[in-house]
Amino acid sequence: MIRWTHAFVDRPEHRLAEAAAFWTAATGTRLSAPRGERGEFATLLADGADACLKLQGVGDHGGGHPDLSVDDVPTTRKAALDLGATVLDDHADWAVLRSPGGQPFCLAPWQGQRTRPAVVTAPGGATSRLDQLCLDVSPDLFRAETAFWAALTGWESLTGSRPEFHLLRPPAGQPLRFLLQRLDAARPAGAHQDLACSDPDAVRGWHESLGATEQARGAHWIVMRDPAGGSYCLTGRDPVTGALPVPADPVADRSPVGEPEPSH
């Protein structure tokens, strides 16, 4: 059983300091001591709560990946392999795997995490919470990848308001949900972080003051680029519940409350 999930923010090693400064400010966290042979790993620590966000320096442009904390790593590893995953790095008590669609992820033993980090309040009063990891999937692999993650997590599986989205919602109290996004064209698997925002434009302004830039936008989302060059999204969902606002005109917005909207 998956007990907790960490979202990794993967950024180029030479820009790790920029990423750390931005993401600690944007999520109301503080950086742990660095780990790894090159100091390429760090955890974003939340006061009074259990961390759900980590930072990793990588050799390419970066992106993101999930780290699943489970009751029994060998049992979960076998289940993932039976579902079509492959092992990239295997250790006694943790493992790095790749989904059938090519998305890297980690399995680690659960350390008793129970308390998700609080909603963050921007200087102007808008609130936000990093609560979603969006897995970007090539169109030919979308159905198989959705089936893999639904089976591996055992989470509530919800069809999105559009056919290119699928939401996996964990049990109450867990910090992160997964949104699978079918891309328009084939490309290597990747992932990016999504924040639920009470006022996306207000949060955008705050993030821009921290060094981020706006890249694109849609009806309920804004695509941003952080100072280290990585993409993420601000979405118009309730930071407490994760749900979209109830539309004033149900015909004008057919997205059910709590269902996924496109991130980019």
Q: Report pLDDT digits (tens) over 150-172.
A: 999 999 999 876 788 999 999 99
As a whole number, mean pLDDT of residues 4-21 equals 97
Hey, what are 78's tokens?
A: 């076998």
Containing domain of residue 165, as a range? 120-235
Question: SS3 of 149, please?
Answer: helix
Q: Residue 188: inside a domain, yes or no?
A: yes
Q: Are residues 228 and 133 in the same domain?
A: yes
Phi, psi dihedrals of residue 209, rounded to the nearest 5°: -65, -20
Q: What percent of the chain has pLDDT over 90?
A: 85
pLDDT for the residue numbered 261: 45
Taking alpha carbons only, the member of 188, 172, 191 closest to residue 180 is 191
141 and 150 Cβ atoms separated by less than 8 Å: no
pLDDT for the residue numbered 53: 98
Q: Residue 240: inside a domain, yes or no?
A: no
Q: Are residues 227 and 124 in the same domain?
A: yes
Q: Residue 257: inside a domain, yes or no?
A: no
Q: Report pLDDT digits (tens) over 97-145.
A: 999 999 999 999 999 999 999 999 999 999 999 999 999 999 999 999 9
Q: Residue 85: inside a domain, yes or no?
A: yes
As a whole number, mean pLDDT of residues 174-189 equals 95
Quick check: 258 pLDDT over 50?
no
Work out whether strand 127-137 and strand 177-182 pair parallel, antiparallel, or are unpaired: parallel
Q: Are residues 46 and 70 in the same domain?
A: yes
Counted residue by residue, the chain has a size of 264
52 and 2 Cβ atoms separated by less than 8 Å: no
Q: Are residues 169 and 226 in the same domain?
A: yes
Rounded Cα distance between 170 and 164, Å, is: 20
- Which H/E stretch holds residue 41? strand 41-45
Q: Are residues 42 and 96 in the same domain?
A: yes
pLDDT for the residue numbered 92: 81
Written as one letter, the residue type at 62 is G
Q: Are residues 166 and 133 in the same domain?
A: yes
Q: Are residues 126 and 214 in the same domain?
A: yes
Alpha helix stretches (DSSP H) within 125-188: 142-153
Q: What is the DSSP letter of 77?
A: H
pLDDT for the residue numbered 163: 82
Q: Are residues 48 and 134 in the same domain?
A: no
Q: Are residues 191 and 104 in the same domain?
A: no
Quick check: 67 pLDDT over 50?
yes
181 and 137 Cβ atoms separated by less than 8 Å: yes
Work out whether strand 95-98 and strand 104-109 pair parallel, antiparallel, or are unpaired: antiparallel
CATH code of 222's domain: 3.10.180.10
Question: SS3 of 118, please?
Answer: coil
Q: Residue 57: inside a domain, yes or no?
A: yes
Q: Are residues 80 and 169 in the same domain?
A: no
Tell me how many domains the chain contains: 2
Hey, what are 52's tokens?
A: 């759900």
Mean pLDDT computed over every residue of the chain = 92
The beta strand positions in 148-251, using DSSP E, are: 156-159, 165-169, 177-182, 190-197, 213-217, 221-225, 231-235
pLDDT for the residue numbered 152: 98
